[in-house]
Structure 1
Amino acid sequence: MRRLPVPVRNMSARIDPRLMAEGRRTRGALYASIGLGVVAALLVIAQAVLLARVIDGVAFRHQSLAMVAPLLWGLAGLFLLRAGLSYVSEVIAFKAAGEIKTYLRQELLGHILRRGPVPAAGENSADLAGTMIEGVEALEPYFSRYVPQMALVVAVPLAILALVFPLDWISGLILLVTGPLIPVFMVFIGYRAEAINQRQWQKLLLMSSHFLDMLQGITTLKLFGRARDEIAIVARISDDYRKTTMAGVRIAFLTSAALEFFASLAIALVAVIFGVRLLHGHIDFFPAFLVLLLAPEYFVPLRGLSTHYHARMTAIAAARRIFEVLDAPAPAAVEGVVPPMAGGLEISCENLEFSYADGEKVLDGLSCVFPAGRITAVVGPSGAGKTTLARVLLGFIQPQAGHVRINGALDLAGMAAEGWWESLAWVPQNPRLFHGTIAANVRLGRPDADSAALREAARAARALDFIEALPQGFETVIGGLGQGLSGGQIQRIALARAFLKNPKLLILDEATANLDMESEALVLDAIMDLAVGRTVIMIAHRLAMAERADTVVVLQAGRVAESGTPAQLRASGGLYAAMRNAGREEAEEISCAI
Structure 2
Amino acid sequence: MKQQAAGVRPWYRGAVGCGLLAGLATLVQMGALAWVVDDVVSNQATLGDVAFGVALIAIAIGVRAVAQWGQEVCGQACGLRVKQQVRARLLVRLQQLGPVRLAARHSAGLASQLVDQVESLEGYYSRFLPQMVLAALIPLVYLVVVFWLNWLAAIWLLIAAPLIPLFMALIGMGAQRLNEAQFQAVTRLSGHFLDRVRGIATLQLFGLAERSVEEVSEVAHDYRRRSLKTLRVAFLSSAVLEFFAAVSVAVVAIYIGLGLLGYIQYGPAEQLDLFSGLFILLLAPEFFQPLRTLSQHYHDRASALGAAEGLVSLLEPDADEAAPAESDRSDETASRELVPGAVELVNVELRHAGRERILGPLSLRVDAGEVVALIGPSGSGKSSLLQLIAGFIAPNEGTVGVQREPAIAWLDQRPLIIQGTLADNLRLVAPDASDESLRNALTQAGLGQWLASAPGGLETPLGERGVGLSGGEGQRLALARVFLSPARLVLLDEPTAALDPETEQHVIAGLTQLAASGRTLIVATHHPAIMAMAGRVFAIEQGRLSRIERSADARETNS
TM-score range, shorter chain: 0.7 to 0.9
- Give runs of aligned pairs for residues 330-345 of structure 1, distance below 5 A: 331-332=325-326, 333-334=328-329, 335-336=332-333, 338-339=335-336, 341=338, 345=342
Match of 1:324 among 304, 313, 324: 313
Structure 2: distance between partners of 1:396 and 1:208? 25
Q: Check the 8 A contact 2:376/2:382 in 1, yes or no.
A: yes
AA of the residue aligned to 1:539: A
Q: Check the 8 A contact 1:550/1:566 in 2, yes or no.
A: no
Aligned to 1:242: 224
Q: What is the deviation of 1:480? A: 5.8
| More divergent stretch after superposition (256-265 vs 378-387) | 378-387
Structure 1: distance between partners of 2:97 and 2:214? 37
Provide closer, same or farther for how the CA distance between residues 286 and 504 of structure 1 changes in structure 2, counting only shifts above 3 A.
Answer: closer
Structure 2: distance between partners of 1:245 and 1:90? 27
Provide closer, same or farther for how the CA distance between residues 284 and 349 of structure 1 changes in structure 2, counting only shifts above 3 A.
Answer: closer
Q: Check the 8 A contact 2:346/2:400 in 1, yes or no.
A: no
Provide closer, same or farther for how the CA distance between residues 354 and 148 of structure 1 changes in structure 2, counting only shifts above 3 A.
Answer: closer
Q: What is the deviation of 1:441? A: 5.1
Query: Is 2:260 the partner of 1:278?
Result: yes
Could you list the runs of 5+ residues in structure 1 that have no partner in the other structure?
A: 1-18, 404-412, 570-594
Provide closer, same or farther for how the CA distance between residues 251 and 455 of structure 1 changes in structure 2, counting only shifts above 3 A.
Answer: same
- Give runs of aligned pairs for residues 105-254 of structure 1, distance below 5 A: 105-254=87-236
Provide closer, same or farther for how the CA distance between residues 346 and 300 of structure 1 changes in structure 2, counting only shifts above 3 A.
Answer: closer
Q: Check the 8 A contact 1:549/1:566 in 2, yes or no.
A: no
Residue deviations 1:339-364, cap 9 Å, x none?
455698587887x6543222234347
Aligned residue for 2:355, secondary structure, equals: coil
Q: What is the deviation of 1:468? A: 7.8
The alignment's TM-score, normalised by the length of structure 2, stands at: 0.85
Structure 2: distance between partners of 1:473 and 1:383? 40
Aligned to 1:492: 476
Q: What is the deviation of 1:28? A: 1.9
- Give runs of aligned pairs for residues 402-417 of structure 1, distance below 5 A: 413=399, 415=401
Aligned to 2:49: 67
| More divergent stretch after superposition (283-292 vs 90-99) | 90-99
Query: Is 2:374 the partner of 1:392?
Result: no
Provide closer, same or farther for how the CA distance between residues 434 and 81 of structure 1 changes in structure 2, counting only shifts above 3 A.
Answer: farther
Q: What is the deviation of 1:478? A: 6.3
Q: Check the 8 A contact 1:175/1:266 in 2, yes or no.
A: yes
Structure 1: distance between partners of 2:16 and 2:417? 47
Residue deviations 1:499-529, cap 9 Å, x none?
2335443221122335455544332221121
AA of the residue aligned to 2:353: A
- Give runs of aligned pairs for residues 368-447 of structure 1, distance below 5 A: 375-398=371-394, 413=399, 415=401, 419-420=403-404, 422=406, 424-433=408-417, 442=426
Q: What is the deviation of 1:175? A: 0.7
Structure 2: distance between partners of 1:368 and 1:327? 32
| More divergent stretch after superposition (530-539 vs 243-252) | 530-539
Aligned residue for 2:358, secondary structure, equals: strand
Aligned to 1:583: none
AA of the residue aligned to 2:358: V
AA of the residue aligned to 1:256: S
Structure 2: distance between partners of 1:480 and 1:364? 37
Structure 1: distance between partners of 2:521 and 2:251? 86
Residue deviations 1:7-64, cap 9 Å, x none?
xxxxxxxxxxxx2331232222222222112211321111111221222222222123
AA of the residue aligned to 1:393: I
Q: What is the deviation of 1:187? A: 1.6
Q: Check the 8 A contact 2:406/2:488 in 1, yes or no.
A: no
Structure 1: distance between partners of 2:341 and 2:532? 23
Aligned residue for 1:67, secondary structure, equals: coil
Query: Is 2:280 the partner of 1:291?
Result: yes
AA of the residue aligned to 2:492: L
| More divergent stretch after superposition (134-143 vs 534-543) | 534-543
AA of the residue aligned to 1:511: P
Structure 1: distance between partners of 2:152 and 2:453? 88
| More divergent stretch after superposition (363-372 vs 41-50) | 363-372
Residue deviations 1:166-208, cap 9 Å, x none?
1010111111111111112222222222111111111111111
Structure 2: distance between partners of 1:343 and 1:263? 71
AA of the residue aligned to 1:311: D
Residue deviations 1:315-372, cap 9 Å, x none?
111122222222224633324362455698587887x654322223434777888787
Q: Check the 8 A contact 1:506/1:531 in 2, yes or no.
A: no
Q: What is the deviation of 1:549? A: 5.4
Provide closer, same or farther for how the CA distance between residues 345 and 157 of structure 1 changes in structure 2, counting only shifts above 3 A.
Answer: closer
Aligned to 1:531: 515
Provide closer, same or farther for how the CA distance between residues 107 and 368 of structure 1 changes in structure 2, counting only shifts above 3 A.
Answer: closer
Structure 2: distance between partners of 1:149 and 1:464? 67
Structure 2: distance between partners of 1:468 and 1:167? 93
Provide closer, same or farther for how the CA distance between residues 364 and 176 of structure 1 changes in structure 2, counting only shifts above 3 A.
Answer: same
Q: What is the deviation of 1:122? A: 2.2
Match of 1:355 among 348, 351, 359: 351
Structure 1: distance between partners of 2:224 and 2:410? 45
Residue deviations 1:128-152, cap 9 Å, x none?
1111111111111111111221122
RMSD: 3.5
Structure 2: distance between partners of 1:49 and 1:63? 17
Provide closer, same or farther for how the CA distance between residues 345 and 54 of structure 1 changes in structure 2, counting only shifts above 3 A.
Answer: closer
Structure 1: distance between partners of 2:367 and 2:65? 75
| More divergent stretch after superposition (174-183 vs 440-449) | 440-449
Provide closer, same or farther for how the CA distance between residues 171 and 542 of structure 1 changes in structure 2, counting only shifts above 3 A.
Answer: farther
Aligned residue for 1:116, secondary structure, equals: helix
Aligned residue for 1:65, secondary structure, equals: coil
Structure 2: distance between partners of 1:57 and 1:338? 83
| More divergent stretch after superposition (481-490 vs 125-134) | 481-490
Q: What is the deviation of 1:437? A: 6.9
Identity fraction in percent: 37
Provide closer, same or farther for how the CA distance between residues 312 and 478 of structure 1 changes in structure 2, counting only shifts above 3 A.
Answer: farther
Residue-pair matches, total: 538
Provide closer, same or farther for how the CA distance between residues 392 and 232 of structure 1 changes in structure 2, counting only shifts above 3 A.
Answer: same
AA of the residue aligned to 2:325: P
Structure 2: distance between partners of 1:478 and 1:94? 43
Q: What is the deviation of 1:125? A: 1.6
Provide closer, same or farther for how the CA distance between residues 499 and 251 of structure 1 changes in structure 2, counting only shifts above 3 A.
Answer: same
Query: Is 2:85 the partner of 1:103?
Result: yes
Aligned residue for 1:362, secondary structure, equals: strand
Q: Check the 8 A contact 1:478/1:484 in 2, yes or no.
A: yes
Structure 2: distance between partners of 1:505 and 1:247? 55
Provide closer, same or farther for how the CA distance between residues 517 and 50 of structure 1 changes in structure 2, counting only shifts above 3 A.
Answer: farther
